[in-house]
């Protein structure tokens, strides 16, 4: 085997250790401490109440993966960490570690061979349960890393929304709720109906209060496939959830939504979406589909073409797909026919 190919495979096999290192450094406050001032391993151990041996070995490992630098026993943030792991910086990605390295993902992916043999999840606690614990973690920590998508989404409909006298918004599987709440923040005439589990809605309501729109937000707790959605609405948001279901099941939900949307209203979908071309054109989507394999019976990252067919079947037209260069999340906007 060529040396380069061997090295690439070796580094891939080590990737889980790097993820564990980064999460540990974030969780223990190592990066926050060194962002304040460079320090020795003993000083970090003292300030963060760590074992001296543990501090030294952790810091050296973080140097080994180029997020810290060390000279004469003194550690400081490397430029990469200074930009992304300093909690005081706008580019902070620490919250993302709580999502991408959650125990739910790690436990499920650790049983990937079983899931491949079975063709679905092999753990009792999974994403098809309304009260899945991961959803609370996502609602709590994902809002900080959705800023680019929130800005892009609200920008796509800003002019349309600003011209409306009434703007009733249904946010299905709202999670942190930032998409609907930001729309309400930008448009005083907007009211938002947020749908999710009761425990997730408690977290979303705190976000609504911080954004100053709690008085224009109502919550509906329950299963979006069966509960009374109310309405009619002018805008419906469905974010990060249709990939949990087959196209047939997703189309069923889209039909339910179309039935409570005013003619001329809009639908916005957000999620990791595959291209219709070769697999290598959208690698993130196909890696994400593995998570759907271990978390759901039939979910996967749907392609743009699949979304187009689903929307047409549910009564929507003029689908527009918005890509984001910095992240694999895509935004789909369609009009109620």
Are 158 and 287 members of one domain?
yes
Are 300 and 220 members of one domain?
yes
Residue 112 lies in a domain: no
The pLDDT tens digits of the residues spanning 184-205 come to: 999 999 999 999 999 999 999 9
The answer on pLDDT for 62 being more than 60 is yes
Residue 119 lies in a domain: no
| Residue 18 phi, psi (nearest 5) | -65, -40
Residue 126 lies in a domain: no
Q: How far apart are CA 196 and CA 240, in angstroms?
A: 12
Shortest CA distance to 304 belongs to which of 273, 325, 277?
273
Q: Which residues pair with 320 in a beta bridge?
A: 333
Are 40 and 137 members of one domain?
no
**Residues of the chain above pLDDT 90, percent:** 78
Task: Please enumerate in sequence order all residues whose Cβ is within 8 A of that of 220, keeping only pairs 6 or more positions apart, or say none.
Answer: 193, 194, 195, 227, 229, 230
- Please identify which residue in the block is written with the tokens 């390295």: 101
The pLDDT tens digits of the residues spanning 250-283 come to: 999 999 999 999 999 999 999 999 999 999 999 9
What is the domain extent for residue 309? 133-336
Residue 221 lies in a domain: yes
The answer on pLDDT for 1 being more than 60 is no
- Residue 3 — very low, low, confident or very high, per pLDDT cuts 50/70/90? low
- Provide the number of structural domains found in the chain: 2
| DSSP structure class, residue 226 | T
Are 21 and 144 members of one domain?
no
The answer on pLDDT for 117 being more than 80 is yes
Q: How far apart are CA 49 and CA 115, in angstroms?
A: 40
Q: Is residue 93 classed exposed, middle or buried when 0-12, 13-18 and 19+ CB atoms within 10 A define those classes?
A: middle
- Among 32, 54, 87, which residue terminates a domain? 87
- As a whole number, mean pLDDT of residues 132-145 equals 77
Are 75 and 145 members of one domain?
no
Residue 99 lies in a domain: no
- Please identify which residue in the block is written with the tokens 């009211």: 191
Are 158 and 78 members of one domain?
no
- Residue 2 — very low, low, confident or very high, per pLDDT cuts 50/70/90? low
| Residue-level pLDDT at 100 | 82
Residue 27 lies in a domain: yes
Instruction: Sheet with 217-221: list strands edge to edge.
Output: 217-221, 190-196, 167-172, 233-239, 261-272, 329-336, 316-322
Are 174 and 242 members of one domain?
yes
What does the DSSP assignment read for 188-200? TTEEEEEEE-HHH
CATH of the domain at 300: 3.40.50.150
Are 147 and 237 members of one domain?
yes
| Residue-level pLDDT at 4 | 67
The answer on pLDDT for 144 being more than 70 is no
Are 137 and 286 members of one domain?
yes
The answer on pLDDT for 132 being more than 90 is no
| Residue-level pLDDT at 260 | 97
Instruction: Sheet with 39-40: list strands edge to edge.
Output: 39-40, 74-77, 68-71
- Among 25, 55, 87, which residue terminates a domain? 87
Are 137 and 215 members of one domain?
yes
- Contact of 108 with 294, CB cutoff 8 Å: yes
Q: How far apart are CA 301 and CA 275, in angstroms?
A: 10
- Residue 325 — very low, low, confident or very high, per pLDDT cuts 50/70/90? confident
Shortest CA distance to 171 belongs to which of 146, 145, 147, 191?
191
Rounded-to-10 torsion of CA 32, 33, 34, 37: 120
- Residue 82 — very low, low, confident or very high, per pLDDT cuts 50/70/90? very high
Average model confidence (pLDDT) for the chain? Answer: 92
Q: How far apart are CA 59 and CA 61, in angstroms?
A: 5
- As a whole number, mean pLDDT of residues 306-331 equals 93
Q: How far apart are CA 209 and CA 229, in angstroms?
A: 23
| DSSP structure class, residue 87 | T
- Residue 97 — very low, low, confident or very high, per pLDDT cuts 50/70/90? confident
Task: Please enumerate in sequence order all residues whose Cβ is within 8 A of that of 255, keeping only pairs 6 or more positions apart, or say none.
Answer: 313, 314, 315
CATH of the domain at 13: 1.10.10.10
Q: How far apart are CA 332 and CA 289, in angstroms?
A: 19
- Among 53, 87, 121, which residue terminates a domain? 87
The answer on pLDDT for 138 being more than 90 is no
Q: How many CB atoms sit inside 10 A of residue 222's CB?
A: 15
Shortest CA distance to 121 belongs to which of 295, 2, 260, 244?
295
Q: How far apart are CA 329 and CA 285, in angstroms?
A: 9
Helices assigned H by DSSP within 122-211:
133-141, 147-162, 178-186, 198-210
Are 298 and 152 members of one domain?
yes
Are 146 and 275 members of one domain?
yes
- Residue 143 — very low, low, confident or very high, per pLDDT cuts 50/70/90? low
């Amino acid at each position: 085997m060529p040396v380069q190919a061997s090295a690439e495979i070796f580094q891939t096999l080590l990737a889980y250790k790097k993820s564990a290192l980064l999460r540990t450094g974030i969780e223990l406050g190592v990066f926050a401490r060194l962002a304040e001032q460079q320090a020795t391993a003993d000083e970090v151990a003292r300030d963060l109440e760590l074992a001296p041996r543990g501090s030294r070995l952790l810091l050296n490992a973080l140097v080994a993966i180029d997020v810290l630098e060390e000279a004469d026993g003194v550690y400081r943030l490397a430029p990469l960490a200074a930009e992304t792991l300093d909690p005081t910086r706008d580019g902070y990605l620490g919250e993302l570690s709580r999502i991408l390295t959650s125990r739910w993902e790690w436990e499920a992916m650790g049983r990937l061979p079983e899931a491949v043999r079975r063709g679905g999840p092999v753990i009792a606690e999974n994403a098809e349960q309304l009260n899945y614990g991961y959803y609370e973690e996502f609602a709590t920590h994902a809002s900080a890393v959705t800023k680019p998508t929130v800005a892009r989404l609200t920008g796509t409909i800003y002019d349309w929304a600003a011209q409306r006298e009434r703007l009733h918004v249904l946010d299905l599987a709202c999670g942190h709720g930032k998409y609907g709440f930001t729309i309400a923040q930008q448009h005083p005439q907007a009211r938002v109906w947020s749908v999710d589990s009761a425990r997730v809605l408690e977290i979303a309501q705190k976000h609504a209060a911080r954004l100053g729109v709690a008085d224009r937000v109502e919550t509906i707790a329950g299963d979006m496939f069966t509960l009374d959605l109310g309405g009619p609405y002018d805008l419906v948001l469905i974010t990060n959830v249709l990939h949990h279901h087959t196209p047939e099941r997703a189309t069923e939900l889209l039909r339910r939504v179309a039935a409570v949307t005013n003619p001329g209203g809009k639908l916005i979908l957000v999620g990791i979406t595959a291209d219709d071309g070769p697999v290598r054109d959208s690698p993130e989507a196909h890696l994400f589909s593995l998570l759907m394999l271990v978390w759901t019976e039939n979910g996967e990252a749907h392609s743009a073409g699949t979304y187009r067919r689903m929307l047409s079947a549910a009564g929507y037209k003029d689908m527009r797909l918005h890509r984001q260069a910095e992240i694999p999340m895509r935004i789909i906007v369609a009009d109620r026919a």
